Amino acid sequence: MSGLAKAHRGVAPGGPGRAPAKPNHRGKLGAQTTRTYFWLVMPSVLLLVLIQGYPLVYAAVQATHDGSLIQSGSFVGLDNFTNVLTSPAFWKAARFTLLFTVVGVFGSWAVGLGLALLLRTKIPARGVFKVLLLLPWVVPIVVSSTAWNWLVSTPTSPIPTLCRALGLGTPLFLADPNLAVVTVCVFKIWVSFPFMMMMSSSALASVDGTVYEAASMDGANRRQQFTRITLPLIARSTYISWILMTIFCVNDFPTIYLLTGGGPVDSTSSLVVYAYRMVFQNFQTGPGVAIAFLMTMTLVVVSVILYRQIRKSSVA
């Protein structure tokens, strides 16, 4: 065997042999790193358990008892859940919550994405325009709901007056059940699209512009670039924004309550408004907390489904 062959095979000139093995510290360092991470995370976990654990356990106790805000009452098991699920008022609130959530999520996403795409073009005073578009999200919801009430609440409000001048009659936006549903959904899109716009803008900023140049050279038009490039590349950010907005819509109490109070005739009463009325107006803590638990389980299921879509996304 030549010296070069021996060198390739790890044989020393004096005879066959192996190079001394280097000590493997990876396992020891990995264990130390794991322990360090554990002790760094443990205080936050304990704090989270203390803050959220006790209210969750107390709410579970309330959901299985027939009590009020003052006393827990007697144990009734799952009767509160059964009574809630067999109540027509619950399913009416659930249907509106579903409609409110779907319109709020996809309506605000469509408007936000469209404005994010518009802001990527060369338009005059783009920075000022972007700041102004954030105002519906920045302004407190109390101020926004008061302004919308002034615009549509009475026959002499500006929007009904304009409709009457155009020969469209005098629509009662907050007195007619169907118009109230439309008004609340539009109001939700108004206060939510800036959040979606910011999420979409940050996702679009990470897309390499050379991808569009290559697609244009291959003959792809604007629609094909949007459906084949833009949407797939921002898919993960889109799913994350959908998860967050779904949670925001289902748990949104002030947007509905400050604008319509859940009326007229409970047409805009969502599950969270219905639960609020059960607990703080009817003093039926058990059914109200049971509704909250059902809402939580539904949100967990929807979040898991959308999270799986994030993992399935091909964009890294």
The per-residue pLDDT for range 80-125, each reduced to its tens digit, is 899 999 999 999 999 999 999 999 999 999 999 999 988 888 777 7
Which residue matches tokens 């007229």? 264
Q: Give pLDDT tens digits for 213-226.
A: 888 887 888 888 88
Q: Which domains does the chain have, with CATH numbers?
A: 81-312 (1.10.3720.10)
Residue 26 has pLDDT above 80, yes or no: no
pLDDT of residue 12: 45
Residue 18 pLDDT level (bands cut at 50, 70, 90): low
Q: Which residues of 153-182 are buried (b: 16+ CB within 10 A; e: fewer)?
A: beeebeebeebeeeeeeebbbbeeeebbbe
pLDDT per residue over 261-305, tens digit each?
A: 888 888 999 999 999 999 888 888 889 989 998 998 888 888 888
pLDDT attached to residue 21: 52
* pLDDT per position as a tens digit, 115-156: 998 888 877 777 788 888 888 888 999 999 999 999 998 888
Distance in angstroms (rounded) separating the CA atoms of residues 223 and 288? 48
11-19 own/partner pairs: CB under 8 Å, 24+ apart: none
